[in-house]
Homo-oligomer: A and B are copies of this chain.
Amino acid sequence: LADKLNVTVIGDGGWGTALSLVLAEAGHQALVWSPFEEQAAECSAKRENVRFLPGVALPESVRFTADVGEAVAAADMFVCAVPTIYMRSCLSRFVDAFPSDRPVVSVAKGIENGTLMRATEIIADVLGPVPMSVLCGPSHAEEVARRLPTTVVASSRDPGLARRVQHTFITERFRVYTNSDVIGVEVGAALKNVIAIAAGICDGLGFGDNSKAALITRGLAEITRLGCAMGAQRATFAGLTGLGDLITTCVSPFGRNRHVGEQIAKGKTLQQVIDDMHGQVAEGVRTTESVCALADRCHVETPIAREVAKVLFRGKPALEAVSDLMMRSPKSEVEALD
């Protein structure tokens, strides 16, 4: 068994809270840092994260704070569970106090607009060269919180750290494999959300599983193409953080990005959909912009991301976008997936 650790989860969202439950079950003390005093106080008082993981009782070994000093004081390990858009501002509050020898486990799934940085690059940019790992895979927070069997990947360039993260998080119901392709893991985790918006568009148009399977297949080819151009290893995209996470995100009713696509295809505007989500972040919306910019930079074709961008930001009708994607002239499968 792993040593009992004090792990600070930076970010009070559903995924950070679900991971604090996993850590508690694995025998550790989890301290969830919220940027908001009231939210931390409410979670502490109710033993429940009513806003982001409602209906799940939290044990005594999961505590909450909004105090940076307290969050940093005893931490043996950090989990960075802040959406990419808020990551830089949240982490900047930790800069002065951060113990630079403590590992940070990133579980964010986006690519920053403008800088086009992956989550670990943002963390290094703000906190400096701390020991870094990524934890990703097909893992909806709601299912993890209900202790449904889940399998994820701990990735780090340092194999020792990947194994340490594996042993810290592993439980009977939360299986952790190691992997060394940090770029591939982060690119797969981020880009899947863009494909999930497209999958949601298919759902919203009333298309069936045949269409969605074809879209997911082409989506994985698109992710793999861009990821390899960014330096990732092809095999990673056939694994849990590529294919696996893509399937869950495109299929699960819990998927927020899928939900965004579905609602837009049904006629809502992006702003309406975001307003209806009450602060839950669909990372794929901003990631779509970053993916188009990365595709330009890497000279790679990303037709799905391009069509999603047109639907989200330029008012292109959803049906027209899907038709432009799927109903092209006949050719060979190799060309179609290229």
A217 near B235 with CB under 8 A, answer: no
Looking at the assembled complex, report how far the CB atom of A197 sits from the nearest CB atom of chain B, in whole angstroms.
Answer: 17
Q: Is the CB of B251 within 8 A of A330?
A: no
Which residue of B is nearest A155, CB measured? Answer: B333
Residues of chain B within 8 A (CB-CB) of A137 are 210, 214
How far, in angstroms, from A77 to B231 measured CA to CA in the complex?
A: 47
A167-192 interface with B by 8 A CB criterion = 167, 170, 172, 175-179
Closest to A322 in B: B149
> Does A299 count as interface, using CB distance less than 8 angstroms?
no
Is the CB of A272 closer than 8 A to any CB of chain B? no
Q: A248 contacts B337, CB within 8 Å?
A: no
Min CB–CB distance A16 → chain B (angstroms): 17
Q: A244 to B213, Cβ gap below 8 A?
A: yes
Complex-state Cα separation, A150 to B243, whole angstroms? 21
Give which listed residue, B140, B148, B326, B333, contacts A207 with CB less than 8 A: B148
State in angstroms the CA–CA spacing of A267 and B139 once bound together: 28
Contact between chains at A238 and B252 (CB < 8 Å): no
Contact B244 A214, beta carbon cutoff 8 Å: yes
Check A213 against B247 for contact (C-beta < 8 Å).
yes
Question: Which residues of the partner chain B approach A153 to less than 8 Å between Cβ atoms?
Answer: 333
A148 interface neighbour in B149, B211, B220, B328, Cβ under 8 Å:
B211
Structural contact, B244 and A332, CB atoms closer than 8 A: no
Known pairs A239-B337, A243-B220; A210 contacts B330 (CB<8 A): no
B243 touches A210 (CB 8 A): no
Scan residues 217-273 of chain A and give those whose CB is less than 8 A from a CB of chain B. Answer: 217, 220-221, 224, 235, 238-240, 243-245, 247-248, 251-252, 254
Contact (Cβ within 8 A) A150 B333: no
A: contact size bracket: 35 or more
Residue A138 CB within 8 A of the other chain? yes
> Do A240 and B252 touch across chains, with their CB atoms under 8 A apart?
no
The 8 Å CB contact of A209, one of B143, B170, B207, is: B143
Task: Say whether A336 faces chain B, with CB atoms less than 8 Å apart.
Answer: yes
CB neighbours (8 Å) of A254 from chain B are 209
A240 touches B220 (CB 8 A): no
- Across the interface, do B210 and A144 meet the contact criterion of CB distance under 8 Å? yes
> Is A334's CB within 8 Å of the partner chain B?
yes
A330 x B176 contact (CB < 8 A): yes
Which B residue's beta carbon lies closest to that of A237?
B238
CB <8 Å contact, B149 and A211 = yes
**Chain B contacts of A1 at CB under 8 A?**
none
Cα distance, A235 to B206, chains bound together (Å):
30
Instruction: Give complex CA distance A182, B249 in Å.
Output: 31
B333 touches A179 (CB 8 A): yes
Cβ-closest chain B residue relative to A214 = B151
Which of B146, B238, B245 contacts A213 (CB under 8 A)?
Answer: B245
Q: At the interface, yes or no: A81 with Cβ under 8 Å from chain B? A: no
Nearest Cβ distance between residue A250 and chain B, in whole angstroms?
9
Closest chain B CB from A259 CB (angstroms): 14
Q: List 15 A-B contacts (CB under 8 A).
A: A137-B210, A137-B214, A150-B210, A166-B330, A167-B330, A172-B327, A178-B330, A209-B247, A212-B247, A214-B244, A217-B238, A217-B239, A217-B240, A247-B247, A251-B251
